């Protein structure tokens, strides 16, 4: 739990107040590979493709291309001649053009060609190295707030001396970031003195996934500066549901509270809020515990043992508490032999004359707010 000055999380691009529960969420469908694995492209990465709330989203496409240079007899070909560039590789892939077709638009938009690398120098050491003919190249396309999410089609057209056909790749464009619903459980939240109550949060968010963007949450008192920071919420299998929890205790302010959920991706930051209530419940009954020791454990008849220890109420020492000391001979019944009071630190001690073999234990009585407790039995050997 964190308490401090209340700092409302501003929504940079928009905000929503929701009162309903959770609807079903549909995760974005992964693009079906078409270019990848062909004769030109080994890998294609599209970074952060989503419909923005306001500011245009410039998306980078990175393609890993292979066999950039001509090859003969398993070796990269050299330009030849007598010039300083005679060992330069001979380009085979000379151009990689691209277009993008948006959802709801049948006319593709032409993108800037991928920037191919300059031809490297071929040496005896690298003339058979496959890595020499591989490179990552990029281009970009823009998504505006008026565009539709869904499957866009990226078409790549390589130009080679040996010829190569165009290929299509589906790009999954996520919807605009939005906080669409939430649940707080339990509601109302009942807090009790000496106990903790788990508060679980589920938020439904569009446009954010495990690997793209994040969702955070806070529980904020409407009347004080108290808040609980849940940090970043977690999602499972990109189902659109984000989960987190916090623990409130008996010191938590009662009354009206607000769940604040902030979804962020790229330059967009969207906040959704939902109210809930914290009420005071009956105080929980605390458990008591006893640390009990006896010394010495073996002695002559007529000598004294020391029975001592510490009594706790919950996690705190139980001061001014009467502790009864009991003895039971082997085969006999327990009987009260003496009593002692605890100090402010919960400690007690009593000297007892040992007369015969047997067992000692101590006991504290319960109250309306605390359970009683009996210690373990400790054996004493009297010679």
Q: Which domains does the chain have, with CATH numbers?
A: 14-23+177-280 (2.60.40.3880), 41-173 (2.60.40.10), 288-382 (2.60.40.10)
For tokens 């001396």, the residue is 161
Alpha helix ranges (H) inside 260-354: none
pLDDT in tens, 61-71: 999 999 999 99
Cα separation, 318 vs 26, whole angstroms: 55
pLDDT in tens, 79-129: 999 889 999 999 999 999 999 999 999 899 999 999 999 999 999 999 999
Mean pLDDT along residues 39-68? 95
Burial class (CB in 10 A: 0-12, 13-18, 19+), 98: buried
Burial class (CB in 10 A: 0-12, 13-18, 19+), 151: middle
Mean pLDDT along residues 191-206? 92
With a CB cutoff of 8 Å and minimum separation 6, the contacts of 29 are 151, 172
Q: What are phi and psi of 131, to 5 degrees?
A: -60, -25
Cα separation, 364 vs 321, whole angstroms: 8
Mean pLDDT along residues 331-357? 96
Q: Please report the sign of the dihedral spanned by the C-alpha atoms of residue 29, residue 16, residue 187, residue 5.
A: positive
The helix (H) or strand (E) run that includes residue 46 is: strand 41-47
Predicted local distance difference test score (pLDDT) of residue 221: 97
């Amino acid at each position: 739990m964190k308490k401090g000055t209340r700092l409302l999380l501003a929504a940079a691009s928009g905000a929503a107040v929701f009162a309903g529960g959770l609807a079903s969420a549909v995760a974005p469908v992964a693009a079906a590979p078409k270019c990848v694995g062909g004769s030109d492209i080994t890998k294609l990465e599209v970074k952060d493709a989503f419909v923005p709330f306001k500011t245009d989203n410039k998306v980078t496409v990175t393609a890993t291309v292979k066999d950039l240079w001509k090859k003969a007899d398993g070796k990269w070909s050299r330009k030849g001649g007598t010039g300083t560039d005679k060992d330069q590789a001979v380009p085979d892939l000379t151009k990689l053009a691209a277009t993008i077709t948006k959802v709801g638009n049948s006319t593709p938009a032409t993108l800037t060609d991928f920037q191919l690398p300059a031809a490297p120098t071929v040496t005896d050491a690298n003339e058979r190295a496959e890595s020499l003919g591989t490179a990552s190249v990029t281009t970009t396309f823009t998504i505006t707030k008026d565009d539709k999410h869904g499957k866009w089609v990226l078409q790549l057209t390589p130009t080679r001396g040996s010829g190569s056909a165009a290929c299509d790749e589906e790009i999954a464009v996520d919807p605009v970031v939005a906080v669409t619903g939430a649940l707080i459980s339990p509601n109302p939240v009942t807090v009790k003195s000496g106990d903790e109550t788990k508060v679980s949060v589920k938020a439904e968010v569009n446009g954010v996934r495990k690997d793209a963007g994040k969702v955070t949450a806070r529980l904020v008192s409407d009347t004080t500066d108290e808040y609980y920071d849940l940090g970043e919420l977690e999602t499972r299998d990109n189902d659109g549901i984000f989960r987190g929890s916090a623990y409130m205790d008996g010191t938590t302010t009662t009354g009206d509270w607000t769940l604040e959920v902030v979804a962020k991706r790229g330059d967009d930051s969207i906040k959704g809020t939902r109210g809930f209530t914290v009420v005071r419940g009956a105080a929980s009954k605390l458990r008591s515990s006893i640390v009990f020791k006896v010394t010495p454990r073996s002695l002559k008849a007529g000598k004294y043992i020391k029975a001592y220890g510490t009594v706790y109420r919950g996690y705190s020492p139980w001061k001014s508490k009467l502790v009864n000391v009991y003895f039971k001979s082997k085969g006999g019944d327990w009987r009260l032999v003496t009593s002692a009071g605890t100090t402010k630190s919960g400690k007690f001690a009593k000297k007892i004359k040992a007369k015969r073999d047997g067992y000692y234990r101590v006991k504290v009585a319960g109250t309306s707010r605390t359970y009683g407790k009996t210690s373990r039995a400790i054996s004493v050997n009297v010679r």
